[in-house]
A = this chain, B = another copy of it.
Amino acid sequence: MSRTRKIYLEESEMPRKWYNIQADMPNKMLPPLHPGTKQPLSPDDLAPLFPMELIKQEVSQEKWIEIPEEVQDVYRIWRPSPLVRARNFEKLLDAPVRIYFKNESVSPAGSHKPNTAVPQAYYNYKEGVKKIITETGAGQWGSALSFATQFFGIDLQVFMVKVSYNQKPYRKSMVNTWGGQIAPSPSTMTEAGRKVLELDPNSPGSLGIAISEAVEMAVKDPDAKYSLGSVLNHVLLHQTIIGEEAIKQFSKTNDYPDVVIGCFGGGSNFAGISFPFIRLNLCQGKKTRLVAVEPESCPKLTRGVFHYDFGDTMGMTPLLPMYTLGHNFMPPKIHAGGLRYHGAGPIVSQLLKDKLIEATAVHQLESFDAGVKFARSEGIIPAPESTHAIAQVIKEANRAREEGKNKTILFNLSGHGLVDMASYDQYFAGNLQDYSVSEKQIKDSVAELDIFPAE
């Protein structure tokens, strides 16, 4: 009868501060550079895009940043999220491991993205912003931001990569239901979009094009700002509530993770689960391993270079110091759309360079196989992105069995897959494949970056 599965926190126990890892990093990051002048960026350079409070968070060295009451109030719709002991999955793997996951799929948008969407919407609202413009690939971010903006009376325009817009109609419906507007990109609403459509009226779009459309529209509208769902420091900051909750939850058990695992796209869900545990490694001498799991088809952490690079394919964003495959790298069309990004957030990149975290890569079929195993033991159908973390959990469990060592594993279930079921269909139909990226592809793609060596 003591087979407890879920470790809850009361709402009153929810952390009231985000953890800013910049305060504890042994080596600071290199500064972002202006895309035109190549000089270090000033806060004013970002003012057309972001509200000042987020720009301050982007560069803050304060260790703890207060979560505003109004943000906590919206967080309480689904937070604190449960920490769950995956007892059935443990049994299936039959290894000397205890497996826990943070269930971020319980948010109304079905993923961890609202953790930053809500404060971003709030800070914009506080500074009088009337409209936010963003892009979305597979749609997780666009739908989360639509969920968030409605609470603060802010209009939302989402540019969604056209091929995904057509393939994933439910994401569009979610954006609309929460009150946001959404258009397939390239669109005729911006110069950038029109330029692309002139050259190729049937362009399927790309995240790079969508970013360009969103940035252009935001810069031209004095009442509007731009918003990004990953990569940047303030985005990662907001996600740390995941790991801070997990630490409080572990303190209610006799357990503590030996290894923490998160899938990796731009870095936000991985940062959210891992940074607070890095804090305890750095400040309390804990020795938890932190493992970022990327797809083999987009291996920036395991095979990219550490370099200054643009965030978008068009070269309009600031240059960021990061592990990258080059901004022109075109990742194969794996179904974990949220992981198809050429670069890694600057903080995560610096941590990897300093060997404070590890990185690994898994193939698409292995990740779906892991996802189905998880669904059939724990009941929750994971998002294609999250299955990458689960595949790594299986590897860690296998290693523990081989080594005969006990191990406690924590991973982030960043989202459920109920809006991505078409991906599972393709998997069961045998239509999915693994993609390998050749050395030459990476070499050619990063060769374009030689102007601004980061080292």
Please, how many angstroms separate the alpha-carbon atoms of A426 and B151 in the complex?
24
Interface status of A283 (Cβ within 8 A of chain B): no
- B174 close to A381 (CB less than 8 A): yes
Interface status of A451 (Cβ within 8 A of chain B): no
How far in angstroms is the closest Cβ of chain B from A411?
Answer: 17
Interface status of A395 (Cβ within 8 A of chain B): no
How far in angstroms is the closest Cβ of chain B from A116?
Answer: 15
The closest CB in chain B to the CB of A6 belongs to B11
Q: How many copies does the complex hold?
A: 2
In the assembled complex, 12 residue pairs joining A and B whose CB atoms fall closer than 8 Å, in A order, are A3-B76, A5-B11, A5-B77, A77-B378, A77-B379, A108-B381, A170-B421, A170-B422, A172-B425, A173-B425, A174-B418, A419-B421
- A173 close to B422 (CB less than 8 A): yes
Query: Count of chain A residues with Cβ under 8 Å from any Cβ of B?
Result: 46
Contact check: which of B6, B176, B178 meets A76 at CB < 8 Å? Answer: B6
Contact check: which of B176, B378, B418 meets A419 at CB < 8 Å? Answer: B418
Please, how many angstroms separate the alpha-carbon atoms of A88 and B110 in the complex?
20
What is the interface of chain A mostly: helix, strand, loop, or mixed?
helix
CB neighbors of B among A1-24 (8 A): 1, 3-6, 8, 10-12
Interface status of A372 (Cβ within 8 A of chain B): yes
Contact with B along A63-78 (1 / 0, CB 8 A): 0000001000110111
Interface status of A250 (Cβ within 8 A of chain B): no
CB neighbors of B among A139-161 (8 A): 147, 150-151
- A76 close to B4 (CB less than 8 A): yes
- A170 close to B77 (CB less than 8 A): no
Q: Which of A88, A151, A179, A381 has the most CB of B within 10 A?
A: A381
Please, how many angstroms separate the alpha-carbon atoms of A421 and B139 in the complex?
14
The closest CB in chain B to the CB of A417 belongs to B177
- A108 close to B425 (CB less than 8 A): no
- A108 close to B169 (CB less than 8 A): no
- B108 close to A106 (CB less than 8 A): no
Please, how many angstroms separate the alpha-carbon atoms of A76 and B170 in the complex?
29
